[in-house]
Structure 1
Amino acid sequence: MIVVEDLHKSFGNVEILKGISTVFDKGKTNLIIGQSGSGKTVFLKSLLGLHTPDQGKIIYDGKVYSELNDDEKRNLRQEMGMVFQGSALFDSMNVEENVMFPLKMFTHKEYDEMKERVDFVLKRVNLKNAHTKYPAELSGGMQKRVAIARAIVNNPKYLFCDEPNSGLDPKTAILIDNLIQEITKEYDITTVINTHDMNSVMEIGEKIIFLKDGHKEWEGTNNEIFKTNNEAVTNFVYSSDLFKKVRQMYIEERN
């Protein structure tokens, strides 16, 4: 679980995050949504410890990040997995080497033990025969699965995903969403996903935070988002005719 209390962050005279408070639950897919410039990226980077908040607290399972010493912060970061937008694989490394990289960086395991763990996570993301392939030889969906395998290879407590469906076709995006949700529940991870993909919101949005101009404008589930009367949320989510029709069908079914 990650608890956020009254988070503020400014760059120069520009305040980006304006007092955000929320809870990201363990074992659930927690989504951050909002328009460009709403503060999503700064919020995610603050959760990762890449930005230092000006005010407020981020608490990881009872540990207040700002109160940790350098060694404790380093240990906490090792409990975090990250799936970057665009996958961010090393082009000069094959799949096995990419996935093994965090193990080499953060553990003292013997090669055979690391190899066994890499084999396990690649099998888990349905890539058990891709060890020797290089990123350029993989489809976009396969690259994302390698990125997920690398993110979970160290058994993280916290999984962060930045636009995991960026650049993927709708069918592959659904597969990636389902994989992230399955892994979240299987390993009881606190997963936080920064996304603009409304299909992800509807499919796996167990907890949704909607940001607007640096504020938490709304929060709820993918079922509750259909029922909200918050104008900012409805304008954002139902900007397309398709989602307007989906919402209307949802309302009619429950009346």
Structure 2
Amino acid sequence: MIKVENLHKSFGSEDILKGLNVVFEKGKTNLIIGQSGSGKSVFLKCLLGLFKAEEGYIYYEDKAIQNMDEDQQRDLREEIGMLFQGGALFDSMTVEENVMFPLRMFTKQRKKEMQARVDEVLSRVQLEGAHKKYPSEISGGMQKRVSIARAIVNKPKYLFCDEPNSGLDPKTATVIDNLIQEITHENNITTIVVTHDMNSVMEIGENIVFLKQGKLVWQGDSTEIFKTDNEDVTDFVYSSDLFKKIREVQNKEG
């Protein structure tokens, strides 16, 4: 679990986050959504400790990152897996070497142990035969699965995903969404996904946090989001590309 209390973040005279109070639940896919400029990316960087908030606290379980010393912060980083928007794979490394990289960085495991764990996670994301391939030799969807394997290779307690479906076709995006959710449930991870994709909201939105201008204006799940009378939320949902296409089909059929 990650708990946020009264979080404020500013840049100069501009207030970006304005007193956020949120609980991200363990074993669930927690989504952060909102229009561009709502504060999603700044919030994510605060959660990761990349930005220091002026006020408020972020608790990982019962420990506030603001009160951690360097050793404790380093220990926390080892418990975090990160899935970047662009995948962020090393082009000069094979799939196997990319996935093994965090093990080399953060553990003292023997090569045999690291190899066994790499084999395990690549099998989990259905890439058993891709060990020796380079990122340029596989599809975008496969690259994203490699990134997921790398993000979970250290058995993280917390998994952060920044626009995981960026650049993917709808079918592949659904595969990635479902994989993230399955891994979250299997390992009881606290997973936080920053997205603007309504397909993701519908597929895996177990705990959805909606931000507007740095404030939390709604929280619920994928069924409740379509029942709410919150105008900010309904404007966001029904102005998405997904619902525009649905309306176009309905109009043609009508």
- Across the aligned residues of Structure 1 and Structure 2, the Cα RMSD in angstroms comes to 1.4
3-state DSSP class of the match of 1:38?
A: coil
Match of 1:157 in 2: 157
State the alpha-carbon separation in 1 of the partners of residues 6 and 163 from structure 2. Answer: 25
After superposition, the Cα gap between the structure-2 partners of 1:241 and 1:103, relative to the gap in structure 1 and judged at 3 Å, is closer
- What amino acid is the match of 1:190? T
User: Where do residues 158-237 of structure 1 align in structure 2 (5 Å cutoff)?
Assistant: 158-237=158-237
Instruction: Note the C-alpha offset of 1:138.
Output: 1.1
Per mean C-alpha deviation after superposition, the further-off stretch among 232-241 and 201-210 is 232-241
Match of 2:26 in 1: 26
User: Where do residues 29-178 of structure 1 align in structure 2 (5 Å cutoff)?
Assistant: 29-178=29-178
After superposition, the Cα gap between the structure-2 partners of 1:245 and 1:130, relative to the gap in structure 1 and judged at 3 Å, is closer
After superposition, the Cα gap between the structure-2 partners of 1:245 and 1:92, relative to the gap in structure 1 and judged at 3 Å, is closer
Deviations 1:87-137 (A, max 9, x none): 000001000000000000000011110000000000000001100000111
- What amino acid is the match of 2:5? E
Q: Contact 2:33–2:40 at 8 Å: present in 1 too?
A: yes
State the alpha-carbon separation in 2 of the partners of residues 69 and 231 from structure 1. Answer: 43
Q: Contact 2:141–2:168 at 8 Å: present in 1 too?
A: yes
Unaligned runs of 5+ in 1: 248-255
Instruction: Note the C-alpha offset of 1:243.
Output: 3.2
Q: Contact 2:39–2:214 at 8 Å: present in 1 too?
A: yes
TM-score by length of 1: 0.94
Instruction: Note the C-alpha offset of 1:30.
Output: 0.2
Instruction: Note the C-alpha offset of 1:217.
Output: 1.1
After superposition, the Cα gap between the structure-2 partners of 1:242 and 1:92, relative to the gap in structure 1 and judged at 3 Å, is closer
State the alpha-carbon separation in 2 of the partners of residues 41 and 8 from structure 1. Answer: 14
State the alpha-carbon separation in 2 of the partners of residues 150 and 241 from structure 1. Answer: 31
State the alpha-carbon separation in 2 of the partners of residues 240 and 224 from structure 1. Answer: 17
3-state DSSP class of the match of 2:53?
A: coil
- What amino acid is the match of 1:201? V
State the alpha-carbon separation in 2 of the partners of residues 246 and 152 from structure 1. Answer: 35
Whether 1:2 and 2:7 are equivalent positions in the alignment is: no
Deviations 1:176-222 (A, max 9, x none): 00000000000000000000100000110000000000101111001
3-state DSSP class of the match of 1:98?
A: helix
After superposition, the Cα gap between the structure-2 partners of 1:241 and 1:200, relative to the gap in structure 1 and judged at 3 Å, is closer
Unaligned runs of 5+ in 2: 248-254
- What amino acid is the match of 1:47? L
Match of 1:252 in 2: none
3-state DSSP class of the match of 2:176?
A: helix
State the alpha-carbon separation in 1 of the partners of residues 181 and 172 from structure 2. Answer: 14
State the alpha-carbon separation in 1 of the partners of residues 28 and 246 from structure 2. Answer: 24
3-state DSSP class of the match of 1:108?
A: coil
3-state DSSP class of the match of 1:58?
A: strand
Instruction: Note the C-alpha offset of 1:242.
Output: 5.6
3-state DSSP class of the match of 1:211?
A: strand
Q: Contact 2:4–2:58 at 8 Å: present in 1 too?
A: yes
State the alpha-carbon separation in 1 of the partners of residues 17 and 77 from structure 2. Answer: 22
Deviations 1:10-30 (A, max 9, x none): 111111111111100000000
Give the share of equivalent positions with the same residue, in percent. Answer: 70
- What amino acid is the match of 2:175? L
TM-score by length of 2: 0.95
State the alpha-carbon separation in 1 of the partners of residues 242 and 80 from structure 2. Answer: 36
Deviations 1:133-165 (A, max 9, x none): 001111110000000000000000000000000
- How many residues of Structure 1 are paired with residues of Structure 2 in the alignment? 247
